[in-house]
Structure 1
Amino acid sequence: MRYRLRLLYDIGGYLAAACLCLICTLITAQILGRIIDITVTQWGGDRIGLAIPGLAQISGFLLVGASFLGLAYTFIHGGHIRVTLLIGRLPPAPRAYVEVACLSLALALSLYLTWSLYWLLDDSIAFGETSYGLVPIPLWIPQSAMLVGVSLFCLALVETWLGTLHIALTRPSSFTIDDSGHG
């Protein structure tokens, strides 16, 4: 399937990858800091205390960003786990309609999640909520990544739903799993 908004989904995927790289960089810096501290104390020096405060919390928020921002990218590349045991055995025409029904359910649930995340983000901004860790991080930051990621996923679902619906209504007997964008 051809996606018109593929650039947006790719940007989400690159942002997800950037979050993962940042997690790796921060953890590597923390490990190197500990190695330097151990080395200095073994040579008789005082501990320098090279540590990143709130690393677990920051890494957790970056993991949330990576998980949600990568949803649409993973979906359009067929990377989500799908159980096609039943629909894979159906003839093409019924398979097209079942696929439309499944995509409709996924879209409805994703739209509800988007709506809920929007109001969660709105409350976090209104009340100035911050995290409880060593570093008080405004919660609207990771929640924004969640909202953007789920919104991109909804767009990808809409595009796939429209394409699958078009095939189901115009030429259902030619439907294949590849037509739905799930390779």
Structure 2
Amino acid sequence: MSTAAAPILRRVLDGLYTAAGYLAAAFLVGIGVTIVVQIACRHLGITFDSTELAGFCLAAATFLGLAHTFRSGAHVRITLATDRLPLRARRFVEIANCLVGSAAIGFLAWHATALVLQSLDYHDVSPGLLAIPFWIPQAGFALGIVLFALALIDDLVSQVFGAAPSYAAGDADQHAE
């Protein structure tokens, strides 16, 4: 890749991660909205079950937020052993962790995407009061996992070429306190 394309790609990827973070926040707001609507409907004598919708919003918020929180250094990391390693060994361990994580999450992303396509093909719907096609909530899960896999691969490639892990920014914040 040319050096001129690298900053553009960096901005695009960071924009994707940030957009996923905002989308995750929107789904958290969606949980609140569904609960408020259910309370209002209950007072009006109308049956509205928000449990299923709130659950779908929670799943989407959880998985869509993974890439953004990872790149921001906000995931919980246990650095008890790696902080004591020499710099070269730490770099090797970080690259190995990203490699294993990329493989595992990539595997999950592949199968999550296949699940969405299968639900779409079979016309699966949720069993609750609202018959929602399953591919809709599953798409948030799959998109979040795919973006998380991309973020892991992004960090892996960056580290192989000598950059510090993006997620280590959260470690620096912890040590400053």
TM (norm. structure 2) is 0.85
Instruction: Give the Cα separation in 2 of the matches to 1:128 and 1:87.
Output: 47
Gaps of 5+ in 2: 1-6, 170-177
More relative contact order, 1 or 2 (CA 8 Å, 6+ apart): 1
Aligned residue number for residue 19 of structure 2: 11
Spell out the pairing of 1:89-108 with structure 2 (5 A cutoff).
89-108=84-103
Q: Which amino acid aligns with 1:81?
A: V
Alpha-carbon contact 2:106-2:149 (below 8 Å) kept? yes
Shift of 1:120: 0.9
> Where does structure 1 differ by over 4 angstroms across 4 or more consecutive aligned residues?
none
Instruction: Give the Cα separation in 1 of the matches to 2:156 and 2:92.
Output: 11
Aligned residue number for residue 67 of structure 2: 72
Shift of 1:29: 2.6
Aligned residue number for residue 154 of structure 2: 159
Computing the radius of gyration from Cα coordinates, the structure with the larger value is 1
Instruction: Give the Cα separation in 2 of the matches to 1:73 and 1:154.
Output: 12
1:27 aligns with 2:35: yes
Instruction: Give the Cα separation in 2 of the matches to 1:163 and 1:123.
Output: 34
Query: Aligned to 1:156, what secondary structure does the other structure show?
Result: helix
Aligned residue number for residue 85 of structure 1: 80
Shift of 1:51: 4.0
Spell out the pairing of 1:78-157 with structure 2 (5 A cutoff).
78-157=73-152
1:60 aligns with 2:80: no
Query: Aligned to 2:91, what secondary structure does the other structure show?
Result: helix
Shift of 1:70: 0.6
TM (norm. structure 1) is 0.82
Aligned residue number for residue 44 of structure 1: none
Instruction: Report the number of matched residues.
Output: 159
Shift of 1:105: 0.5
Shift of 1:163: 1.2
Gaps of 5+ in 1: 38-47, 169-178
Instruction: Give the Cα separation in 1 of the matches to 2:40 and 2:138.
Output: 30
Q: Deviations over 1:10-43 (max 9, x none)?
A: 1101110000001111212322444xx3xxxxxx
Alpha-carbon contact 2:34-2:53 (below 8 Å) kept? no
Q: Which amino acid aligns with 1:84?
A: T
Query: Aligned to 1:50, what secondary structure does the other structure show?
Result: coil
Identity of aligned residues (%): 38
Shift of 1:158: 1.2
Query: Aligned to 2:73, what secondary structure does the other structure show?
Result: coil
Give the alignment's Cα RMSD to 1 decimal. 1.5
Specify which of 161, 165, 176 is matched with residue 180 of structure 1: 165
Instruction: Give the Cα separation in 1 of the matches to 2:131 and 2:141.
Output: 19
Aligned residue number for residue 49 of structure 1: 45
